[in-house]
């Protein structure tokens, strides 16, 4: 048996023709994959951004309720280790640099073998003492290391994401005749900075002649003109199209070798990306709008069963681990709280009543597929709020632990492994967005059927009460730390245990 997880970073579903027929983006290979296979229409993240999302995928649990960005924990029961215990060979090829920075520990190292294609974002790859020239003037971010890295790839096939898909094709060729394996192919593109060869940019011409701009800052839009934002969307679209081309090359390799028809193949993303919607760019600091959390999910079953089918049931990325395990006929560990997607496919049977999602220490958000509700912290200092973990790292740094801020003990309900319980501080935690929690101080309620772009917040106390009950039900189901109810001001939520 063979299975593949193709994870594409920062994939905004509104840019994909298979989800938005009005999209002008060329993504023919993802479109064809959708037409030939199963498309899930109501699929959501649980935790965001990058590493929290991956911990969700690998553990079948929701990360953001108990900790921020960080490595795999030593007590985590993971998809990869479970597969290995049952004789399934595992391999990952990726150009995602955060795996190899502080805060990305223990992810790739779980696999039997792994391959890292260098050069994305700030990957410390090309080494120059002097540094690089920074384009001036510019909007958003420009990173010296990234400018150096770009010197190393001048042809399309030399770019990191094309190299990632090429390495995946090479792995298939090197393992002809092999069986019982799981392969993860992970493309960093179209994650920012949006960088690709000119032939793809020519597909999205514009007349923009302003400051250099292919990497938005993590803040509300300010100086960027409408023309600049249209240019940024074109840069994103071009990078997406380049990724799609090489995705298609890999899928064709699977077809040419006969592997496609006999494999489970799941294609999804970790989260979306804002490109001017609601006056924002990037991610992480704004409300959890659909552009960020409502993500693509495409599934190929062996023999192309149910080709062209669309699934409306509400699903999340925590459901991927039990899906792969059921496919390999492996019992799902008790720690896993996601559910296999395989039983829902034949008849699109109801799957879950609600899904919660968000960023650690910010609003906790819930959807039932018809409405979304963003529940904000009630106190100015966002307390009580604690980070739990044995890996004291977060994005590019170690935890900033002050005296009196921490305890150690067996605080998590699903493991006896001792962890730190550390008071979470807003100040200094969001270096890219000094506004911290400023944009998530308000509870927001939307009807996403009549208002899919979430432009018209509702004021409906009865409906809000219903969504609070669903939020509380999900918090109980996913074993949220007890202080979450107090932090969100819902201590009186009925049925709390």
Residue 398 within any structural domain of the chain: yes
Question: Shortest CA distance to 153 belongs to which of 139, 141, 166, 140?
Answer: 166
pLDDT at residue 167, as a whole number? 98
Q: Are residues 427 and 333 in the same domain?
A: no
Q: What percent of the chain has pLDDT over 70?
A: 97
Name the H helices within 97-213. Answer: 144-150, 160-174, 198-201
Residue 369 within any structural domain of the chain: no
pLDDT at residue 78, as a whole number? 98
**Cα separation values, 108 from 3, 94, 183, 244, 449, Å:** 17, 9, 12, 24, 39
Q: What is the pTM of this model?
A: 0.97
Q: Are residues 383 and 340 in the same domain?
A: no
Most confident of 124-138, 323-337, 421-435: 323-337
Q: Could you tell me the CATH number of the domain that includes residue 291?
A: 3.40.720.10
Q: Are residues 241 and 154 in the same domain?
A: yes
Q: Are residues 125 and 268 in the same domain?
A: yes
Residue 350 within any structural domain of the chain: no
What distance in Å separates the CA atoms of residue 87 and residue 299, rounded to the nearest whole number? 24
CB of 363 closer than 8 Å to CB of 377: yes
Q: Considering 299, 325, 344, which residue would you say is the last residue of a domain? A: 344
Q: Considering 344, 362, 393, which residue would you say is the last residue of a domain? A: 344
CB of 270 closer than 8 Å to CB of 94: no
DSSP label of 51? H
Q: Are residues 250 and 335 in the same domain?
A: yes
pLDDT at residue 305, as a whole number? 83
Quote the longest CA-to-CA distance of the chain: 62
With 0-12 / 13-18 / 19 or more C-beta atoms within 10 angstroms meaning exposed / middle / buried, residue 98 is: buried
Name the H helices within 218-350. Answer: 226-256, 290-293, 320-327
In which residue are the tokens 């899904």 written? Answer: 355
DSSP label of 212? B
Residue 358 within any structural domain of the chain: no
CB of 468 closer than 8 Å to CB of 375: yes
pLDDT tens-place string over residues 357-379: 999 999 999 999 999 999 999 99
Q: Are residues 98 and 57 in the same domain?
A: yes
pLDDT at residue 131, as a whole number? 87
What distance in Å separates the CA atoms of residue 214 and residue 195, rounded to the nearest whole number? 7
Tell whether the model's pLDDT for residue 497 goes beyond 70: no
pLDDT tens-place string over residues 204-238: 999 999 999 999 999 889 889 999 999 999 999 99
Q: Which residues contact 389 (CB under 8 A, 6 or more apart)?
A: 66, 67, 70, 73, 419, 420
Cα 483 from chain centre: 26
Domain that holds residue 20: 2-344
Q: Angle at CA 50, nearest 5°, toward 281 and 241?
A: 65
Looking at the 3D structure of the chain, how many domains does it have? 2
Residue 236 within any structural domain of the chain: yes
Q: Are residues 410 and 330 in the same domain?
A: no
Alpha-carbon dihedral of residues 258, 259, 263, 265, nearest 10 degrees?
-110
The residues pairing with 182 across neighbouring beta strands, listed in sequence order, are 3, 90
DSSP label of 138? B
With 0-12 / 13-18 / 19 or more C-beta atoms within 10 angstroms meaning exposed / middle / buried, residue 113 is: exposed
Residue range 53-77: mean pLDDT, rounded? 97
Tell whether the model's pLDDT for residue 287 goes beyond 60: yes
What distance in Å separates the CA atoms of residue 217 and residue 221, rounded to the nearest whole number? 8
pLDDT at residue 271, as a whole number? 98
Strands annotated E in 79-148: 89-94, 113-116
pLDDT at residue 496, as a whole number? 47
Residue 37 within any structural domain of the chain: yes
Residue 351 within any structural domain of the chain: no
Question: Shortest CA distance to 95 belongs to which of 164, 168, 154, 155?
Answer: 164
Residue 402 within any structural domain of the chain: yes
Q: Which residues contact 256 (CB under 8 A, 6 or more apart)?
A: none
CB of 69 closer than 8 Å to CB of 395: yes
Q: Are residues 289 and 405 in the same domain?
A: no
Q: Are residues 30 and 76 in the same domain?
A: yes
CB of 16 closer than 8 Å to CB of 31: yes
Query: Rg (Cα) of the chain, in Å, rounded?
Result: 22
Tell whether the model's pLDDT for residue 135 goes beyond 90: yes
Tell whether the model's pLDDT for residue 494 goes beyond 70: no
Q: Which residues contact 492 (CB under 8 A, 6 or more apart)?
A: none
CB of 43 closer than 8 Å to CB of 270: no
Q: Are residues 324 and 404 in the same domain?
A: no
Q: Are residues 324 and 392 in the same domain?
A: no
379 backbone dihedrals φ, ψ, rounded to 5°: -105, 150
Residue 191 pLDDT level (bands cut at 50, 70, 90): very high
pLDDT at residue 69, as a whole number? 95
Q: Are residues 320 and 448 in the same domain?
A: no
């Amino acid at each position: 048996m063979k299975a593949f997880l193709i994870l594409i970073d920062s994939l905004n579903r509104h840019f994909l023709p298979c989800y938005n027929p009005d999209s002008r983006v060329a993504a023919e290979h993802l479109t064809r994959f959708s037409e030939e296979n199963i498309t899930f229409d109501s699929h959501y993240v649980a935790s965001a951004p990058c590493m929290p999302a991956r911990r969700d995928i690998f553990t079948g649990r929701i990360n953001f309720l108990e900790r921020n960005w960080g490595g795999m924990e030593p007590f985590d029961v993971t998809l990869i280790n479970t597969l290995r215990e049952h004789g399934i060979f595992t391999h990952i090829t990726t150009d995602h640099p955060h795996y190899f920075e502080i805060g990305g520990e223990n992810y790739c190292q779980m696999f039997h073998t792994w391959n890292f294609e260098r050069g994305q974002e700030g990957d410390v790859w090309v080494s120059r003492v002097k540094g690089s020239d920074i384009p001036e003037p510019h909007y958003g971010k420009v990173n010296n290391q990234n400018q150096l890295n770009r010197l190393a790839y001048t042809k399309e096939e030399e770019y990191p994401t094309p190299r990632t898909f090429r390495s995946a094709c090479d792995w298939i060729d090197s393992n002809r005749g092999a069986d019982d394996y799981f392969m993860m192919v992970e493309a960093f593109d179209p994650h920012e900075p949006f960088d690709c060869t000119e032939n793809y940019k020519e597909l999205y011409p514009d007349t923009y002649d302003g400051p250099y701009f292919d990497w938005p800052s993590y803040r509300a839009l300010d100086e960027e003109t409408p023309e600049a934002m249209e240019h940024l969307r074109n840069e994103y679209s071009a990078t997406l199209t380049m990724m799609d081309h090489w995705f298609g090359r890999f899928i064709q390799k699977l077809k040419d070798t006969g592997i496609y028809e006999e494999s489970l193949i799941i294609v999804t993303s970790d989260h979306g990306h804002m490109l001017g919607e609601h006056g924002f760019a990037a991610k992480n600091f704004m409300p959890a709008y659909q552009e960020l959390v409502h993500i693509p999910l495409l599934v190929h079953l062996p023999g192309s069963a149910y080709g062209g089918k669309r699934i409306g049931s509400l699903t999340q990325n925590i459901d991927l681990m039990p899906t792969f395990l059921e496919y390999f006929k492996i019992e799902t560990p008790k720690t896993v709280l996601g559910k296999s997607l395989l039983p829902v496919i034949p008849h699109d049977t109801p799957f879950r009543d609600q899904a919660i999602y968000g960023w650690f220490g910010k609003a906790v958000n819930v959807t039932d597929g018809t409405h979304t509700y963003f529940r904000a912290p009630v106190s100015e200092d966002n307390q009580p709020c604690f980070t739990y973990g044995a890996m004291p790292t977060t994005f590019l740094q170690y935890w900033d632990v002050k005296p009196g801020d921490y305890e150690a003990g067996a605080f998590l309900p699903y493991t006896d492994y001792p962890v730190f319980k550390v008071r979470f501080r807003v100040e200094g935690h969001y270096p890219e967005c000094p506004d911290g929690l400023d944009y998530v101080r308000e509870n927001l309620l939307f009807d996403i059927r009549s208002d899919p772009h979430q432009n018209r917040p509702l004021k409906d106390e009865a409906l809000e009460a219903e969504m609070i009950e669903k939020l509380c039900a999900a918090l109980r189901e996913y074993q949220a730390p007890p202080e979450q109810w107090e932090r969100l001001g819902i201590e009186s939520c009925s049925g709390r245990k």
